[in-house]
A = this chain, B = another copy of it.
């Protein structure tokens, strides 16, 4: 049993305890999400899940993603100009850089930025519920052409 399988198993148990039935469709999506190290959108997740559950409908994919988001299992990102993209939330908090040319998503974390954000909110009488930091970037060329 791989570590990913074990993680998925624990998750499944936790979800069941939370009253979420683990159907074939949901199990497939959980597996797909656990394996994914990119940030796929709903249709891509459907495509990947179909290898296990042919005919899984897009509505079910969306309904499941919403449920998993509610349960805190996954994160939904709305980057500019694309459908929502998803990732499992078992990793450390991080923000995203999006390569505007390739669409590739790179994760990064910076403790100082996090702290500054909290301070700013605090100073204005607010507390942060969540935040969103996205850097839309382009690969640097060694020298101007």
Contact = CB atoms under 8 A, between A and B. Distances in A.
A134 B80 CA distance: 13
A62 B5 CA distance: 48
Interface of A: 78, 80, 97, 99-100, 106, 108, 110, 112-113, 116-117, 120-122, 124-140
A132 B132 CA distance: 7
Given A129-B100, A133-B131, A137-B129, A117 B124 contact: no
A140 B126 contact: yes
Contacts of A137: 121, 126-129
A130 B80 CA distance: 11
A120 B122 CA distance: 24
A144 B81 CA distance: 40
Task: Across the A-B interface, give the 5 residue pairs with the lowest CB-CB distance, nearest first.
Answer: A126-B137, A132-B134, A129-B136, A131-B135, A133-B133
A121 to B, nearest CB: 5
Contact of A130 (B125, B128, B136): B136
